[in-house]
Every structure is written in C-alpha cells, then in structure tokens.
Amino acid sequence: MQLVTQNTICQSARVARQRANCRKCVKSGRVSASLKGIETTPVYRVRRWAARHARFFESFYVAFEAVLIFLHPLLRRIGYRRLERPVAAMEKLAKGFLFDTQMCGSCTLSATGMVCPMNCPKTMRNGPCGGVRSNGHCEVKPEMKCVWADAYAGSLLMRHGDRIREWQPPVDHRLKGSSSWLREIRRKTGDAETGDVAE
C-alpha cells in the first residue's frame, strides 16, 4: 500500500512536470495558469527532485556530518562565534538551493524526508494538516504539492525514514537565520558552549 501511494505521488508529479514543460500543453491550456506558477519555478523543482532522492541526501548528510565532527577541534580553535556568519551564509546557499530551506535554525531535514517543513504555509512540523486536497496538493497554495506528502514519500526512501514519526518541539523563533550545522556539531560533540546563538 505504501508503494502504491509513493508511485502515485511520483507519477502525478512527473505528469504535471512534463505538462508544465511542454509548450503545446501550456498553449492549449492543459496546464492551468496557477500550475505554471510554482511548478515551473526552479527552486520548487529542485526541492522536489531532492525529495525523490532522499536516500542519497540522507547518506550524504551522514557523511558530511562526520566530516564536520572530525573538524570540530579546528572549528573550535577558529571559534564558533566567528564562524557563525560565514557558515550560516554557506548553509543558506547550499540548503536553499537543494531543499529550498527557510533557515529556521532548528533543522529537521533528516527526520522529515529531506523536505523542509517550513515551506508549508502553516509551517507544520509534525505532519500534514487536515486540509490536504484529494490530489495531494496544498490547501493554501493549490498549485503546490503538500510539503508533507513529499516528506512522507521521501521518508519511505530513507534508511532512517522512521524518524518522521518523532514529534518535533515548537520552533525557537530566535534561532531563525542561524546555522543549524554548527549547532548540531556542538550538540553532538558535547561542546560546553552549546547554547542559543541568539543569546
């Protein structure tokens, strides 16, 4: 049953994408005006591509985290506070390109199918709301696939996709814009200075 859902999600996305790309379809009106909106924007297409390759990005993230943890002594010597701004800028660039992340500062990508939940218009962090349309699209933005439908499909591909069942605490809005990479390394290495960047 899970496989069926996943296939339908991928299939409908593929069809929609093909139509949005097809000039004939656009001209003949098979693609609605709203669909031409977000479906064709590069950020949206890249972020959905990333969700379909959640397994790869999951492994990549694990490796990347290991590298950062290995670099922890060096990073500490440079000073986390000094690194905050350049790393946050880098993080925003990379994650923004791949996952269209909103830099909430409490990144949950690996627990949400490599999909940024902050792209949900209601910023739902614990699953889809009850307003999802029958075609799996968003209640607020009808032209957009529900962020959580993509997240669930992504999680099914992942090795530790079960993490989507963990519940996420409310966002600390003070952390917006700060680097969650640095925070995560400091948390994992038990760095003494672990604390809120905004403080």
CA dist., res. 1 & res. 129, Å (int): 21
Nearest approach, Cβ of 141 to other proteins (angstroms)?
A: 9
Nearest approach, Cβ of 22 to other proteins (angstroms)?
A: 25
- Hey, what are 174's tokens? 């003070």
Which residue has tokens 């993509």? Answer: 150
Write the binding mask 2 to 21 for other proteins: x where contact by CB under 8 A, - elsewhere.
x--x---x------------
Write the binding mask 119 to 158 for other proteins: x where contact by CB under 8 A, - elsewhere.
--xxxxxxxxxxxxxxxx--xx-----x-xx--xx-----
Task: Tally the C-alpha atoms within 13 A of residue 108's C-alpha that lie toward its C-beta.
Answer: 27
Nearest approach, Cβ of 135 to other proteins (angstroms)?
A: 8
Question: Does residue 28 belong to the site contacting other proteins (CB under 8 A)?
Answer: no
Closer CB to other proteins, residue 1 or residue 192?
1
CA dist., res. 42 & res. 46, Å (int): 6
Closer CB to other proteins, residue 168 or residue 189?
168
Closer CB to other proteins, residue 29 or residue 130?
130
Length of the chain in terms of residues written: 199
CA dist., res. 164 & res. 51, Å (int): 14
3-12 long-range Cβ contacts below 8 angstroms, 24+ apart: 5/152, 5/153, 6/153, 6/156, 6/157, 9/136, 9/145, 9/149, 9/150, 9/153, 10/52, 10/153, 12/135, 12/136
**Residue from 29, 42, 73, 169 in contact with other proteins (CB under 8 A):** 169
Closer CB to other proteins, residue 73 or residue 130?
130
Query: Which residues of the shown chain bind other proteins in the complex (CB under 8 A)?
Result: 1-2, 5, 9, 121-136, 139-140, 146, 148-149, 152-153, 164-165, 167-170, 173
